[in-house]
Chain A
Amino acid sequence: MTTAAPTLGQPTRLSRSRGLASRFLVFATSQEFVLLLVVVLLFAVVGNTNPRYLAERNVLNIFNGNAYIAVAAVGMTMVIISRNIDISVGSLIGVLGTVSGSLAINGYPIWSSWLVPILLGGVVGAVIGFMVAYLRIPSIVVTLGLLSILKGGLITVTNGAWITDMPDTYFLAQMRTPEISLLGINIPAIPSPIVIMIVLTLLAALWMRYSPTGRAIYAVGGNAEAARLSGISEKRIIMTVFIINGLCVGIAAVLWATQLSIIQSTVPAGLELQVITSAVVGGVSIMGGVGTTIGAMLAAILLSAINSALVFINVSPYWFRAVVGVLILITVLTDLLRRRRTQA
């Protein structure tokens, strides 16, 4: 039985030649579907023991709280698929968030405090990409060094001063879509981070699946030599991936900064781990070549849902990280088992 290529976004020709039943099987065993199932199950079980977990406010909070992580995970997904890693994302979010807040309180137009961090993120991404692709320094070393530089640099420059009193129009992440009543169904006001997260994830998923460059990322990560022989420039792809990653981190930083009323000018601890975890649990194989942004988004939501659930079922939130660790191991193991079975 070849239920090969279980992931949605992986370029695959299998589904074309197969019937509806086996197509459904491929879908049902995909990481994205399993994750969706787990999220729904979690909501059902926890909601059963404590109905307040399912309150509209809490559900929106769960989706909203990790939206910036999901956005950063879009970039991380591409980075890992191309067989690289970026452990500087947490520091970069901290730095760009501070840049955003500083622009806002120093009288620059609000749109520039949203746009500049994103562009700056792209520039930093280009620098990383250049060092990885052209100077041939392993991405883990580049981003390890960059992590120190950004983290130390941020506090040196700002002296850890807090940024407060941003203008009211600054808080992008606290804005909501208007309430719409469609065919008698009331769609509640959705916080903007959720909208941005979903739109960006879907766009990235489509781009990676259907555009030549997007597909080349899988090729480079799956088999660099074969990709080179078929005329794909590995260097250019890696450069592109890191620039897109930088832009995503920039957007994540703006979402992160604009949901806070105080920006503390520090680097959020362990953020890179949450972003990488989302990508990996979402079905991105650390071996490269496989994965989708949709899975990463669902994983980010799952993490948020678990964190919130611990509170509602009276488990100390101090256990959260242990749960996350077990979760990564389980998903990676099932991924390996599934792949071993399809290869056999």
Chain B
Amino acid sequence: MTTTTHTTDDSQEQMSSRIRSFLLRQEVILLIISLLAVMFLAFGSDRFLTTDNLLNQGRLLTEIGLVALSMTFIIITGGIDLSVGSILGLCAIILGVMWDPNGAFALPLEVAVVICLLVGTLAGFVNGLIIVRLGVPPLITTLATLALYRGLAEGISQARSVRGYPEEFYVLGQGEFLGVPTQLWVLLIFCILTAVILSRTIFGRAIYAIGNNELGARFSGVPVGRYKIMIYTFSGFMAAMAAWIFVSRVSTTRSDMGSGLELDAIAAVVLGGTSIFGGSGSIIGTIIGFILIQLLKNGLALSGVTTDGTIVVIGTVLILAILINNFIQRRSGNG
């Protein structure tokens, strides 16, 4: 009899500790914070919790969302990519210059889009090559290419913008599909794709392994270099996708597009519980992260706070979220 009570006690204890560790996960904490924020913001303005408004916010978060997804992979390996905003700018300019009917190329729009995606992918690939083959730290590599790619965008465009795209080009950025903004479908597909790859494949596990112990991963047969090049290339591709959607949404190309995007994306990833030191994190966390940031921006704006006031709140939330997370991790016995 004593043994049975003992086991039930044990399993109960196990159960409660499992619930506790679930509740203490950064994603769950973040979700609770988000729900609280939504409730709070809904009181501030009755326009906030309307389908129209929320779907419109979806339009605005797609570019940051796409980039944040690939950034999650990179940060989990312990790396960082500061050049994504510049790649976005460069790709946007390439798209405009290649298509511009009055310009030197005047290519069909489809071809221009393909070139735009290729250039972004190539830019990411170059980042990966420099980091892996030449052994330059990611922070420095992408800081250099941040300047380089933005410089190329500025140099190529000479501060001229390209506008007047054909009507069908705007479907991606301004149109709807089944009542939902087109780009949200794109974002959704990439969310599912990256979430599955990161959590359900050998490649995904290898990404965590690299972040936890790169040398260990190498010794256990993970092709560390190749995988790293792949994720930086993917990051470039995602920035190019974001550029395509961005140009289609705002109907013009400018060389300063996407400046500061890298900071928003990193904020979303870190807010989502991915450790900046690498080794842990999840796509779900990142998704909650960028949604929370966008909801804060929008909700505060509707409550009459200026955009700049909102930036202050986001910065504070970022630091607080990390502080709380650190505190909880230490309390729950990791420290």
Which residues of B are found within 8 Å of A141, using beta-carbon distances? Answer: 270, 276, 318-319, 322
A333 at the interface (CB under 8 A from B): yes
**Are B276 and A287 in contact, CB atoms less than 8 angstroms apart?**
no
- Size of interface on B: residues with Cβ below 8 Å to A: 48
Which residues of B are found within 8 Å of A328, using beta-carbon distances? Answer: 140, 143-144, 147
**Are B137 and A137 in contact, CB atoms less than 8 angstroms apart?**
no
- Partner of B312 from the list A144, A148, A322, A332 (CB cut-off 8 Å) is A148
Distance, CA A319 to CA B136, complexed state (A): 24
- Partner of A333 from the list B136, B157, B277, B308 (CB cut-off 8 Å) is B136
Q: How far is the CB of B318 from chain A (nearest CB, A)?
A: 4
B146 at the interface (CB under 8 A from A): yes
Task: Given A137-B323, A144-B263, A149-B316, check contact A322 B140 (CB 8 Å).
Answer: no
Distance, CA A144 to CA B141, complexed state (A): 18
Which residues of A are found within 8 Å of B277, using beta-carbon distances? Answer: 138
Distance, CA A332 to CA B141, complexed state (A): 9
Distance, CA A149 to CA B314, complexed state (A): 8
Q: How far is the CB of A169 from chain B (nearest CB, A)?
A: 32
B259 at the interface (CB under 8 A from A): yes
Task: Given A141-B276, A325-B145, check contact A147 B263 (CB 8 Å).
Answer: yes
B134-163 with Cβ < 8 A to chain A: 134-137, 139-141, 143-152, 154-155, 157-159
B309 at the interface (CB under 8 A from A): yes
**Are A276 and B143 in contact, CB atoms less than 8 angstroms apart?**
yes
Task: Given A137-B322, A269-B259, A276-B143, check contact A336 B135 (CB 8 Å).
Answer: yes
**Are B326 and A146 in contact, CB atoms less than 8 angstroms apart?**
no
Q: Which residue of B lies closest to A280 (CB)?
A: B140
A161 at the interface (CB under 8 A from B): no
B310 at the interface (CB under 8 A from A): yes
Distance, CA A287 to CA B135, complexed state (A): 11
Q: How far is the CB of A264 from chain B (nearest CB, A)?
A: 14
- Size of interface on A: residues with Cβ below 8 Å to B: 43
Task: Given A140-B276, A156-B309, check contact A145 B315 (CB 8 Å).
Answer: yes
A323 at the interface (CB under 8 A from B): yes
Distance, CA A85 to CA B156, complexed state (A): 31
A188 at the interface (CB under 8 A from B): no
Distance, CA A136 to CA B325, complexed state (A): 11
A82 at the interface (CB under 8 A from B): no
A286 at the interface (CB under 8 A from B): yes
A306-340 with Cβ < 8 A to chain B: 316, 318-326, 328-329, 332-333, 336
* Binary CB contact string for chain A from 257 to 300 against chain B (1 if under 8 A, 0 otherwise): 00000000000010001001100100000110000000000000
- Partner of A325 from the list B144, B316, B323 (CB cut-off 8 Å) is B144
A135 at the interface (CB under 8 A from B): yes
Q: How far is the CB of A339 from chain B (nearest CB, A)?
A: 10
**Are B154 and A321 in contact, CB atoms less than 8 angstroms apart?**
yes
Distance, CA A212 to CA B140, complexed state (A): 29
A151 at the interface (CB under 8 A from B): yes
A96-136 with Cβ < 8 A to chain B: 131, 135-136
**Are B259 and A321 in contact, CB atoms less than 8 angstroms apart?**
no
With most chain A CB atoms within 10 A of its CB, the pick from B157, B311, B314 is B311
Q: Which residue of B lies closest to A329 (CB)?
A: B144
**Closest CB pairs A-B (n = 5):** A325-B148, A322-B151, A148-B315, A152-B311, A321-B151
5 contacts between A and B (CB under 8 A): A140-B276, A149-B312, A318-B255, A322-B147, A323-B151
Residue ranges of B at the interface with A (Cβ–Cβ < 8 Å): 80, 130, 134-137, 139-141, 143-152, 154-155, 157-159, 255, 259, 263, 266-267, 270, 276-277, 306-316, 318-319, 322-323, 326
A137-B322, A276-B143, A318-B158 are known; give 7 further A-B pairs, CB within 8 A.
Answer: A140-B80, A148-B267, A155-B306, A156-B308, A322-B152, A328-B143, A336-B136
